[in-house]
Amino acid sequence: MQILHIVASLDPATGGPAEGVMCMSQIFARLGHGVDVVCLDAPDDRWIAASPSNIFALGKRYLGPAKLNRWLPWRRYRYSSRLAPWLVENAHRYDAIIVNGLWNYCALAARRAFSGTSVRYFVYTHGMLDPWFHRTYPLKTMLKQVFWWFSEGPLLAGAQAVLFTTEEERILARNAFRPYRCREAVVGYGTADVSGDPQEQIAEFRSRLPQLIDRRYLLFLSRIHAKKGCDLLIEAFAKSAVKDPALDLVMAGPDQVGWATELKKNAANLGVADRVHWPGMLMGDAKWGAFHDCEALVLPSHSENFGIVVVEAMACGKPVLITNKVNVWREVEEGGGGVVANDDLRGIEQLLELFLALSETERNQMGEAARATFLRHFTFEKNISRLMLNIAQPQ
């Protein structure tokens, strides 16, 4: 079977969709399927050159400061005149096409290329229909409704199936915009199991943060973004820090919106600046070392479709402290692999309080339960069969 992934970017800093596309592509290839990826990155972007996958990068590199990409609408939308014609010309080569994500030009180009054709395509929404965005960005939601009428809405309506990673995501997406017409399928999601030498990976991570010395730490590993609840975590940590003077907090991840400076000021005002560490984005062995070495992963998100980092931490046998807005929270709670609370300040305080009150034996048992939950629910090898069943179904 020949499969094509369409995704706006494969930049690891953009989060889950890029990671998911690369993991799925590797597993599809191991199963004997041909896999291509088309994206709107520039051909000379470093992550394109480093990738082992067959990638068609149809975007271009913009001149000027990178922060302009956040403010100029056409850059954020990633418009490319090359994508729709490329899809029209090449769609017939593939047995199935998977569109990853919404609200960028990939969705409109796919709608333009596939409408009125027999192309078998599927859409992963990747949590981009979560109502949290409506409440937080009401003006942007009004603009999205306009796009929905001529782009995202027809794209979903014409898809062979719209793919959701959890039942929670499917329910939240319903009636996000009107009219809402699609064939829904919950296919699960996951990530590859951890590999490599944990001690070497820990050493690689520790070399990035020598100021940690041999201190224990909680790990936040995600984008530095308001959706992730970073401000609440720092405030809650400052309160808990008094109770455990040997515990630090590592805030690892790319700062795409320029928020880290304000958060660092908050940490200083709360008296914990020397105990909160900012290594930036972690990749490869440094990332896995951070997981292996931490006491627990903390992800206090207000909205999280799946939470790849949560699953990666569980693969490393680490407890996860998450909110009930992370859509895998039911599996985490039922499996005993972590602590779940509300996505407000009191909830984040409870996450830390409940975890820090556990004995070392209880924390180790929670880590073992996290690993067992990962193996039961979240390996890509386990979930890929559900995706393949949907892809293989006749029109």
Q: Domain locations in the chain?
A: 2-191+380-392, 198-377
Q: What is the largest CA-CA distance in the chain?
A: 63
Could you tell me which of 58, 61, 60 has the C-alpha nearest to residue 86? 58
Give the phi and the psi of residue 298 in degrees, each rounded to 5.
Answer: -120, 125
Domain 198-377: assigned CATH number: 3.40.50.2000
Tell me the pLDDT of the chain averaged across its residues.
92
Q: Is 345 exposed, middle or buried (0-12, 13-18, 19+ CB in 10 A)?
A: middle
Give the pLDDT band (50/70/90) at residue 66: low
Give the pLDDT band (50/70/90) at residue 190: confident
pLDDT confidence of residue 70: 62
State which of 55-64, 181-190, 304-313, 334-343 shows the largest mean pLDDT: 334-343
Query: What stretches of 36-180 show up as alpha helix (H) in DSSP?
Result: 46-49, 68-71, 73-77, 83-90, 105-114, 131-136, 138-150, 152-158, 167-173
Report whether pLDDT(114) > 80: yes
* Half-sphere CA count of 127, side-chain side, radius 13 A: 24
Which residue type is seen at 385? S
- Domain 2-191+380-392: what homologous superfamily? Glycogen Phosphorylase B; (3.40.50.2000)
Residue 126 DSSP SS3: coil
pLDDT confidence of residue 321: 98
**pLDDT tens readout for residues 356-377:** 999 999 999 999 999 999 999 9
Which residues, in sequence order, are CB contacts of 371 under 8 Å at separation 6+? Answer: 314, 315, 316, 317, 337
pLDDT confidence of residue 378: 92
CB 316 within 8 A of CB 296: no
Top pLDDT among 354 and 192 is at 354
Residue 263: in which H helix or E strand, if any?
Answer: helix 260-269
Report whether pLDDT(65) > 90: no
Could you tell me which of 27, 35, 39, 43 has the C-alpha nearest to residue 4? 35
Report whether pLDDT(19) > 60: yes
pLDDT confidence of residue 53: 80
Query: Is 198-377 the same fold as 2-191+380-392?
Result: yes
- Cβ neighbours of 64 (radius 10 Å): 9
Q: Tell me if the pTM is above 0.85.
A: yes
In the numeric block, the tokens 């990409």 are attached to 69
Give the pLDDT band (50/70/90) at residue 108: very high
Average pLDDT over residues 210-217: 92
pLDDT confidence of residue 89: 98
For the beta sheet containing 247-252, the strands, ordered from the edge strand earlier in sequence to the opposite edge, are 276-280, 247-252, 216-221, 296-299, 320-323, 338-341
CB 294 within 8 A of CB 219: yes
Report whether pLDDT(92) > 80: yes
Cα–Cα dist 132/145, whole Å: 15
* Omega of the bond leading into 300 within 30 degrees of 0 (cis): no
Report whether pLDDT(94) > 60: yes
In the numeric block, the tokens 């008094």 are attached to 242
* Tokens coding 390: 């949907």
Give the pLDDT band (50/70/90) at residue 176: confident
Q: What is the C-alpha end-to-end distance of the chain, expressed in Å?
A: 15
Cα–Cα dist 162/107, whole Å: 13
Cα–Cα dist 112/123, whole Å: 15
Residue 319 DSSP SS3: coil
Cα–Cα dist 240/65, whole Å: 39
How far is Cα of residue 384 from the mean position of the Cα atoms in its chain? 17
pLDDT confidence of residue 281: 94
Handedness of CA 346, 348, 350, 352 (dihedral sign): negative
